[in-house]
Chain A
Amino acid sequence: MDREELSKRVLDLLTEIAPDVDPASVIPGVAFRDQFDFDSMDTLNFAIALHRELGVEVPESDYAKLASLEKCVAYLAERVS
């Protein structure tokens, strides 16, 4: 999966767990928390969705590496075939 495709998948998951977020408005380099009040519940739901859709199990200690779209894609690119 290339980065563009990964980025699209991540955005899809993001709007699935946070239906009140407009995917077109997401700025890749800015933390989800700073853009739309992403909280610990959202982060957990996001980790669960990543596991379900991409088969990646993100340990809690790596949550910081999922903080923004840019970081997410970089993190997942190393783990998704």
Chain B
Amino acid sequence: MASEFRLPALGADMDAGTIVAWQVAPGSRVKRGDVVAVVETDKGAIDVEIFEDGVVREIVVPVGQKVAVGTVLARLDAEGEAAGSAPAGPRAKVSPAARRRAHELGVEVESLQGSGADGAITLADVERAAGAAVASQAPALEEPATLAPQGAVSTTGVPADSRASMRAAIASAMSRSKREIPHYYLSTTVDVTTATEWLAAHNAAVPVTERLLFAALLVKALALTCRETPGFSGFHRDGRYEESPAVHVGVAVALRGGGLVAPAIMNTADQSLPALMTAMRELVARARAGRLRASELAAPTIVLTSLGEDSVDVVFPIIQPPQVAIVGAGTVVERPWVVEGKILPRQLVTLSLGADHRVTDGRLGAQFMSKLVRKLGDPATL
């Protein structure tokens, strides 16, 4: 039976995309996780992956055409199957939430093995399939030179006209957030001297390629905190909150010349610090070159926005719907701090949380932040 490859949604506010290149042709054999098309969107040119194995039967939408999310882009035959000859199996049971998420992530639900009652396909199955697809093609760090697109896409990042549409997409998402999400904000200033000293010692002892940034510690600590404290990593849709079974921390990446994207590091809590660092370096490079993957943009369950060096003390972050929380980190600065009755110069950072009051209250938010702070204080365990 032929299956359909549709344009996946890449977040709350994407409703269309333009095909700029096909990486496959009729007869091409594809594996789950292969990039099959490049689509120009509000978020730059995006590599769109396929989520099942098969052979391309037909390209439906030609290069240059702009189509709505959900449009059939191509048709596939299952591997080893004569076109149209396979009998249609019984229809898989799929929960509505799983079906919706599958649609967003571009996962073909019918191809999944369900783990729920009576073999029903659950949200967790869908998330796992999307995560596995990304993990299976997670590259060993590519040489940056090979990051340049092969096709029709500009190598100098996001072109000017899509800057404007990216601005419009940010405006739309942030307006929706401020309209719909009753944010509450918490912030706390933390002495991270232990963490920065640990980092400096680590970085002095390893080759340059294995050095870590403070942001990697933050990402890992945040992911572990999310796993321990439900209510912050998931999605609020149709009037209810659903915790994501896997934590995919989105990392806000500012683009030079304006604009912002927050692609996910998949299964963040399960990755070692060196693996996270590699993933972050690779993600930032591709975000700036305008070459993110569809699954990375749709996946974040919570976002970290880290303002980096020489910036401000504190950020009051705005949640990206349908997520329910976002954590910000200001610049790490040396300031006077009282330690055991003495005023000492210490490395300080102010962490902030923007969270959805429909899902959690300040008390739980404060516990969440306390756990995050404790984890940062013990970097060797991250």
Contact = CB atoms under 8 A, between A and B. Distances in A.
Interface of A: 16-22, 33, 36-37, 39-41, 44-45, 47-49, 51, 57-61
A76 B122 CA distance: 56
8 contacts: A18-B256, A19-B144, A19-B157, A19-B289, A20-B157, A20-B289, A48-B208, A57-B207
B13 to A, nearest CB: 23
Interface in B285-320: 285, 288-289, 308-310
Contact of A40 (B145, B209, B215, B289): B215
A20 B208 contact: no
Contact of B209 (A37, A48, A59): A48
Nearest to B288: A20
Nearest to B280: A41
Contacts of A51: 207-209
**Shortest 6 CB-CB distances between A and B: which pairs?**
A20-B157, A51-B208, A39-B308, A19-B289, A20-B256, A16-B144
Contact of B288 (A18, A48, A57, A60): A18
Main secondary structure on A side of the interface with B: helix
B147 interface: yes
Interface string B241-260: 00000000000001111000
Give the residue among B158, B200, B284 with the most A Cβ atoms within 10 A.
B284
B187 interface: no
A41 B213 contact: yes
Contacts of A39: 308-309
B288 A19 contact: yes
Interface of B: 144-145, 147-148, 155-158, 200, 203-204, 207-209, 211, 213-215, 254-257, 280-281, 284-285, 288-289, 308-310
B203 A60 contact: yes
Contacts of A19: 144, 147-148, 155-157, 288-289
Given A37-B256, A60-B204, A44 B155 contact: no
Q: Which of A19, A20, A36, A40 has the most CB of B within 10 A?
A: A19
B280 A20 contact: no
A36 B209 contact: no
**Which of B147, B215, B256, B310 gathers most chain A CB within 10 Å?**
B256
A33 B309 CA distance: 10
Contact of B213 (A36, A37, A40, A48): A40
A51 B209 CA distance: 9
Given A20-B156, A20-B255, 17 more contacts: A16-B145, A19-B147, A19-B148, A19-B289, A37-B254, A37-B256, A40-B308, A40-B309, A41-B215, A44-B211, A44-B281, A45-B144, A45-B285, A47-B208, A51-B207, A51-B208, A51-B209
A21 B256 contact: yes
Contacts of B288: 18-20
A51 to B, nearest CB: 5
Given A20-B255, A20-B288, A37-B254, A49 B144 contact: yes
B304 to A, nearest CB: 13
Query: Which among A21, A48, A58 has the greatest number of chain B C-beta atoms within 10 A?
Result: A48
Contacts of A59: 204
A45 B281 contact: yes
B44 to A, nearest CB: 11
Nearest to A20: B157
Contacts of B254: 37
Contacts of A18: 256, 288
Contacts of B156: 19-20, 22
A60 B308 contact: no
Contacts of A57: 207-208
B144 A17 contact: yes
Contacts of A48: 208-209
Contacts of A47: 208, 211
B281 A58 contact: no
A60 B213 contact: no
A14 to B, nearest CB: 11
A32 to B, nearest CB: 11
A60 B309 CA distance: 14
B256 A41 contact: no
